[in-house]
Structure formats: structure tokens, C-alpha cells
Structure 1
Amino acid sequence: MIKALFSGVFAALLLAGCATVASKVAGGGHDYPEARSYAVSDDASADVDAALARAAENGKRVMVVMGANWCHDSRALAGWLATERFQTLIDDKYELVFVNIGMPQQDDGHNLQIAERFGLDELPGTPNLLVLTAQGELVNADTATTWRDTASREEDAIFSELQTLADKAV
């Protein structure tokens, strides 16, 4: 009986940790929606492959967000992407994949081969945002690793950059 009760409470706590915060968080002079948990996958490479296949079928780009739960900038980006405004853009233009990269700077990196696959040998911080064509070409090689200040960016600037990348010629 106690074991069943404990299991139920533990499961409820795990699910609660995956929700996003409805309110905004003050950060760097800006307000942003922050995801409490950065959704990750057991097989990120397969998720990227599936997104590339869907993108080829529907004429979209693939947005690969490489970040981590411990990073407030990763959670800020995930929070923005979950808002209605960004979700509309994503639904129209992108296949979205979140990839957990752990803590590479402390020799606890995960899924780093995905960045290498698309020509990024080093990820200097988190998050990193890779925009790919359906053929796997990196559209934003010049800005993919510059998202580590997302919590300080303005909503309109983030949205504008993602809009531009959705249609950028390669």
C-alpha cells in the first residue's frame, strides 16, 4: 500500500517537472517564458533523421535545438518556442527537435555527434540552434552556436531571426 502510494506521488512529481511555466520570468532585463524541463529523447539521432524525412515530405526546414535542462537560456528558448506565436511559425515552417547535450564543458556531453554531423566541431555553450534543409544542409552555420544569450534577447528579435532562417537561401 505504501509502495503504491509512493509510486503514485513519484510519478506525479515527474510529470509536474515536464510542464512549462505559464508566467514569465525576469532575466537580463527581459521577460521570457521558461520551460521547467527541457524535453529530451532516448534516441536523438533517430529523432533528427525522422524530422529530416518529414521535412522532405512537407517542404519545411528542420530546427534542432541542442541544449540542456540545467541551462536557463535553453529553458528560455524552449519556453519561447512553446508560445502560440512561435508555435504557429514552427507549424508552418519547421520540424522541431530538442536534443540534450548534457554538460560538454565538464566532460559529460551527450549527442555531440549530431552537431558534428552537420559541420559543427565545437559547441561553446547552450543552447545551440541548428536550422537544416530537408537534405541536411546547415542553413545558419554563422549563428548556430550564438544562442547562449537567449534569455537576454527580445521576443521580436528571436522571432524575426527564426522567420528569416526559415526562408534563407543556402
Structure 2
Amino acid sequence: MIRAVLAGLLAALVIVGGAGLAQGDTGAHDYPEARSYQPSDDAASEVEAALARAAASGKRVLLVMGANWCHDSRALAGWLETERFARLIEREYRLIFVNIGMPQSGDGHDLALAARFGLDDLPGTPNLLVLTADGELVNGATATTWRNAASREGDAIYDELVRLSEAPVSEEVG
């Protein structure tokens, strides 16, 4: 009986995972939460494509490096799915999600992407990198500070993304 229930739950997770990011209800917390954080089969190529689209459109890349297991990653993804954030992202960014596993425990994935943009250490998830179309990191000092995304207010996240859409390239990399 327990195996059947667990198999059913696993099947449901696979179905949700295959659908990409799906917004769940807020439940007992104050943020929208994505139920699935879709891993990429070729994150490096997807980032390159996002940079090319950003160059063609004059926008920046919003690279979110997180994981399915992380409630802060799902919270940030949930905020980014809301209508208000979607309008901002459409106007200012090319958005890409990369599943990086659990880098703080040695089980990280696609960490070479972070190193490519000057971040050699990812202390947790999520990480939010804002890149120019040339691949320069705009928010080097704050890119790895999003591990508390679930406890941040939506307005504060929104205001930070507006600020980063216009901010000069950071010379300090975290």
C-alpha cells in the first residue's frame, strides 16, 4: 500500500516536472511557489542563446541558478511567473533557469556557468545573475545573496530587478 502511494506521488512529481515551471498556490506562506524547477539538458547552450537574444533585443539576461529541492528557488521562480514580474521581464530581460543541484554539499550541476561569469563559489541556492548581452555580470556583489528569496517581499524583489535592469556592470564579484 505504501509503495503504491509513493509510486503515485513520484509519478505526479514527474508529470509536474515535465511541464516546466508551474505556479502553485501560496498555501501557508506569503509568496507564490513554482512546483517544478525544470532542469536543462544543455544549460550552456541555453545561456548562449539567451545572450544572443538579449544582444538582438537590447535587453539583459536574468539567469536564475536554483534547484527543485530548494523552497527559496521555487519561491523566486513563483514570483517571476506572476503577471507583474512577467511584464517587467518581458520588457527588460531574457529569463533562463538553470538547475544547479546542491552545490553547497558537493552535488552541484552546471557550476562552470557560474565560474564563467566570475562566481567561483555558490554557497547555496538560488543565485540570481543579471548579465549584459556581452556576458558581463551586473550584480557580482549580490548574485549569491538570494538564499532567502522565500522571505523577501515581492515589492523588494521587483524593485531590485528594476534597479538591476539599468545598473552599471559591477566591478566587485562576490
Detail structure 1 runs of 4+ shifted over 4 Å in the superposition: 10-13
19, 22, 32: which one pairs with 1:20?
22
Taking only the aligned residue pairs, the percentage that are identical comes to 67
Q: Which has the higher contact order (CA 8 A, sep 6+)?
A: 1
Tell me the residue number matched to 1:160: 159
3-state DSSP class of the match of 2:136? Answer: coil
Structure 2 letter corresponding to 1:86? F
Inter-CA distance 45–76: structure 2 relative to 1 (3 Å threshold) = same
Structure 1 residues 1-170: aligned runs within 5 Å: 14-17=14-17, 18=19, 20-27=22-29, 31-170=30-169
1:38 and 1:69 in contact (8 A); partners too: yes
In the TM superposition, residue 122 of structure 1 has moved relative to its aligned partner by 0.2
> C-alpha distance in 2, partners of 1:97/1:129?
10
Aligned 8 A contact 2:101 2:108 in 1: yes
Instruction: Give the paired residue count.
Output: 158
Report the TM-score when normalising by structure 2. 0.86
TM-score scaled to structure 1, two decimals? Answer: 0.88
Q: Work out the CA distance in 2 between the residues paired with 1:13 and 1:79.
A: 17
Structure 2 gap segments, 5+ residues each:
1-9, 170-174
Q: Which amino acid in the other structure matches residue 113 of structure 1?
A: A
Q: Which has the higher strand share?
A: 1
Q: CA deviation at 1:15?
A: 2.6
1:62-92 C-alpha deviation (Å, 9 max, x unpaired): 0100000000000000000010000000000
Report the Cα offset of residue 144 of structure 1. Answer: 0.1
What is the one-letter code of the residue matched to 1:26? A
Given the superposition, is the C-alpha separation of residues 130 and 33 from structure 1 closer, same or farther in structure 2, using an over 3 Å criterion? Answer: same
Answer yes or no: is the 8 Å Cα contact 1:63–1:131 preserved in 2: yes
Secondary structure of the residue that 1:16 maps to in structure 2? helix
